Amino acid sequence: MFEKPKKLLYLYYEDIFSKMGEKGIKYLLIGGVAVNLHGIQRATGDIDLLLAMDKENILKFVDVTKELGLVPKVPIKAETIADAQKLKQLREEKNMQVFSFMHPDSPYICIDIMTENYIAAGRPQDIADIEALEKYGERE
């Protein structure tokens, strides 16, 4: 009745983070998986990352996504971000901001900054995450 797909893609966090580690990619884990790492269990359907914005790092990340068969969901092509001129243009014309949330010992966002971002976003899941983190999460 149903034809078996020719290729199924099953990836686990370990596959993605191991490959990024092998390539020496500089990143910060944010979003639902970061909430999990702070001790709160919640389901999430994606992995949210912030990358160091140097050309070499971005291109290494693009290579990893291609190797793993992943398609990044960004409003612009990742290769565009690696181009210094185009990045400058995005900053000037689109008011794109670049900043760091990284704690030097942990490759994921700290609770305090995550809370600030989630309050600003104001989505129901973000508010629920804040409440859970305040009640059960580990503080630094």
- pTM for the model: 0.56
What is the distance between the alpha carbons of residues 46 and 33, in angstroms, rounded to a whole number?
Answer: 8
Q: What is the DSSP letter of 108?
A: B
13-34 pLDDT per residue, tens: 888 889 999 999 999 888 888 8
Would you say 38 and 115 are in contact if contact means Cβ atoms under 8 Å apart? no
The predicted-structure confidence for 32-79, as pLDDT tens digits, reads as follows 888 888 888 888 777 888 888 888 998 998 899 888 887 656 566 767
